[in-house]
DNA sequence: TTATAGTATATGCGCCACGCATACACTTAT
DNA sequence: ATAAGTGTATGCGTGGCGCATATACTATAA
């Protein structure tokens, strides 16, 4: 069997050939046999999933309960006075679920409901002192897990990665609600010149002075 | 008030000054006022969390039920014959939870339990034809969401990002069990020359020919 | 001003996935 | 052969969640 025949045979019979791979891409590629980027996306997806899982696991392990409690604490540290409605969106819960979450966290003395300054319906949520401590623990463990994950990267690579992250974040930003989800575990003090805020401002939304929370 | 006094004043009184920022880092940095990387980690964390959330949401929205079902289908497409024990680890469920998940998916005709070739205790799990279709939908939506997320990047940046991802994945790999979690939503055909497999092999673990699944 | 619609929060209710503990089947070591 | 270890299955209780609804308040319109 000639090598040419073998190549053609493979191209026609392997699963890879049937999934859109072609001769040109096979001849032109070095490490990545398929130049269509499937492998890149696969590996990057695993990477993002691993880091994301680590972030969620590390942060919620420091929270008083599993699930969205960690995000709620961090979000309230970021934006004191948040309403229950926006909290619900930020942590990805239904409104009723958020009310119950606030109930539990309030019972534990971590957050408190106050009257809204202008709207009698809205409750403004604030961290208590104990809540601030809990939130700090959550954020610290998140920061640590990211630092560990990226510890093998050189400072220059970190910069490149951060630059890419920043541009992707800005381009994929859809709405104010989504911005709360994205930033739900971010550290306020650490996010100097936050790209999400900047992008929202460019679009005419001022998240920082948004008193409806 | 001289500018020098003003600078010193800020350094001593702003929250930023109290959190480890110093004069040197302020003078030396351009965009990132703090050179300690806090902002980089913050932004990258938001980035990873957003992509990770998108992956989970997109894939599980194509699955017959929310939660770990999508991961289970993808994992079984990747490794047919997987045991319930390893499936449980891969999708992050207790053993009992995995048994129930398998019950539901089997009732829906998506997977089936077969006898293990050598071990009478172990059940080998396989996708049915319908399960393969469902799994393909899950993987396709994952691939699409990643492609959309990275669509603004130039091919060269994609390569850099993938290279970083690959190295971080290999360096952060801890165990065979963790590798199943990391790859739980990966596409088998798309992951040519899988870095996780390569890393495991270097460490003397052969995930591909692991019949205990 | 009054009436109506819209919005924010709270709650009754039921569901279902989950984990713990246990039981059973089978394998491996002594 | 007995004991210990491992994989799977199940009874049971728990708890967070969403749906639908009730209540309070705001905003708009006649």
Residue A59 pLDDT grade (very low, low, confident, very high; cuts 50, 70, 90):
very high
> Where on strand D do bases come within 7 A of a protein Cβ?
5-11, 16-20, 24-27
- Which of residues 147 through 166 in chain B touch A, CB cutoff 8 A? 147-153, 155, 157-162, 164-166
Residue B116 pLDDT grade (very low, low, confident, very high; cuts 50, 70, 90):
very high
Residue identified by tokens 């194509």 is B62
Among A29, A47, A136, A174, the strongest candidate for a mutation testing the B interface, having the largest count of B CBs within 10 A, is A47
Q: Which residues of B touch A20 (CB under 8 A)?
A: none
pLDDT score at A6 = 31
> Where on strand C do bases come within 7 A of a protein Cβ?
6-12, 17-21, 25-28
Mean pLDDT of B13-27: 39
pLDDT score at A127 = 98
What is the DSSP secondary-structure string of B63-84?
A: SSSSSTHHHHHHHHHHSTTB-H
pLDDT surpasses 80 at A29: no
Which structure tokens are listed for B53? Answer: 């959330």
| CB neighbourhood size of A29 (10 A) | 15
pLDDT score at B30 = 46
Mean pLDDT of A74-92: 96
CA pair distance A75, A96, nearest whole angstrom: 18
Q: A119 CA, D26 C1': separation in Å?
A: 8
More confident residue, B183 or B3: B183
Instruction: Provide, rounded to the nearest whole percent, the portion of chain B with pLDDT above 70.
Output: 81
CATH topology of domain A38-202: Arc Repressor Mutant, subunit A (1.10.10)
The residues, any chain, with a CB within 8 Å of residue B122's CB and separated by 6 or more, are B83, B84, B85, B116, B212, B213
| Interface check B44 vs A, CB under 8 A | yes
The footprint of strand C (CB < 7 Å) covers A 83-85, 95-96, 99-100, 102-103, 113, 119, 121-123, 212; B 65, 67-68, 93-97, 100-101, 104, 118-121
More confident residue, B4 or A61: A61
Q: pLDDT tens digits for A149-164?
A: 999 999 999 999 999 9
pLDDT surpasses 80 at B13: no
The residues, any chain, with a CB within 8 Å of residue B192's CB and separated by 6 or more, are A16, A32, A33, A34, A39
pLDDT score at A182 = 96
Measured between CA atoms, the residue of chain B closest to residue A150 is B168
Q: pLDDT tens digits for B152-170?
A: 999 999 999 999 999 999 9
Lowest pLDDT segment from A74-83, B46-55, B134-143, B188-197: B188-197
> With the C-alpha atoms ordered B8, B10, B12, B13, is the resulting torsion angle positive or negative?
positive
Nearest Cα neighbor of A33 from B193, B146, B160 is B193
pLDDT surpasses 90 at B14: no
- Strand bridging mode A111-115 / A123-127: antiparallel
Residue A209 pLDDT grade (very low, low, confident, very high; cuts 50, 70, 90):
low
CA pair distance A203, A206, nearest whole angstrom: 9
pLDDT surpasses 50 at B28: no
Most confident of A19-23, A200-204, B147-151: B147-151
Mean pLDDT of A168-183: 95
A87-91: which pairs have CB atoms within 8 A and are 24 or more residues apart? A87/A125, A89/A177, A89/A180, A89/A181, A90/A177, A90/A180, A90/A181, A90/A184, A91/A181, A91/A184
pLDDT score at A207 = 82
pLDDT score at A213 = 52
Instruction: Provide, rounded to the nearest whole percent, the portion of chain A with pLDDT above 90.
Output: 76
pLDDT score at B34 = 53
What is the DSSP secondary-structure string of chain B?
A: --HHHHHHHHHHHSHHHHTT--HHHHHH-SS-S-TTSHHHHHHHHHHHHHHHHHHHHHHHHSSSSSSTHHHHHHHHHHSTTB-HHHHHHHHT--HHHHHHHHHHHHHTTSEEEEE-SS-SSPEEEEE-HHHHHHHHHHHHHHHHHHHHHTTTS-HHHHHHHHHHHHHHHHHH---HHHHHHHTTT--TTT-TT-HHHHHHHHTT--STT-TT-
CA pair distance B9, A14, nearest whole angstrom: 69
Which structure tokens are listed for A145? Answer: 């897990």
pLDDT score at A65 = 96
Q: Which residue is nearest to nucleotide D6 (CA to C1')?
A: B121
CA pair distance A143, A159, nearest whole angstrom: 16
| Interface check B6 vs A, CB under 8 A | no
Does domain B39-202 fall under CATH 3.10.105.10? My reply is no
Q: For chain A, where do the domains classified as CATH 1.10.10.10 start and end? A: 38-202
CA pair distance A93, A101, nearest whole angstrom: 9
pLDDT surpasses 60 at B55: yes
Mean pLDDT of A182-190: 93
pLDDT surpasses 90 at B174: yes
Residue B206 pLDDT grade (very low, low, confident, very high; cuts 50, 70, 90):
confident
Q: Which residues of B touch A40 (CB under 8 A)?
A: 158-159, 161-162
Average pLDDT, chain A: 85
pLDDT score at B205 = 87
pLDDT score at B35 = 61
pLDDT score at B25 = 42
Mean pLDDT of B35-46: 91
> With the C-alpha atoms ordered A168, B33, B39, A145, is the resulting torsion angle positive or negative?
positive
């Amino acid at each position: 069997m000639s090598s040419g025949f073998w190549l053609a045979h493979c191209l026609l019979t392997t699963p890879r050939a049937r999934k859109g791979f072609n001769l040109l891409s096979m001849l032109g590629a070095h490490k990545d046999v398929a130049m269509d980027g499937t492998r890149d996306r696969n590996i990057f997806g695993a990477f993002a999933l691993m880091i994301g899982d680590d972030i969620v696991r590390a942060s919620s392990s420091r929270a008083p309960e599993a699930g969205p409690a960690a995000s709620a604490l961090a979000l309230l540290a970021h934006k004191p006075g948040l309403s229950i409605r926006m909290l619900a969106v930020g942590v990805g819960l239904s409104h009723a679920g958020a009310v119950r979450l606030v109930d539990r966290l309030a019972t534990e003395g971590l957050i408190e409901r106050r009257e809204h300054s202008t709207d009698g319906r809205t409750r403004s949520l604030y961290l208590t002192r104990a809540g601030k401590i809990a939130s700090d623990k959550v954020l610290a463990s998140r920061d640590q897990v990211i630092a560990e994950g990226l510890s093998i990267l050189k400072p220059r690579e970190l910069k490149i990665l951060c630059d890419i992250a920043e541009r992707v974040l800005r381009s994929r930003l859809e709405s104010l609600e989504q911005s709360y989800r994205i930033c739900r575990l971010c550290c306020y003090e650490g996010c100097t010149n936050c790209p999400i805020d900047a992008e929202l401002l460019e679009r005419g939304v001022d998240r920082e002075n948004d008193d409806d929370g």
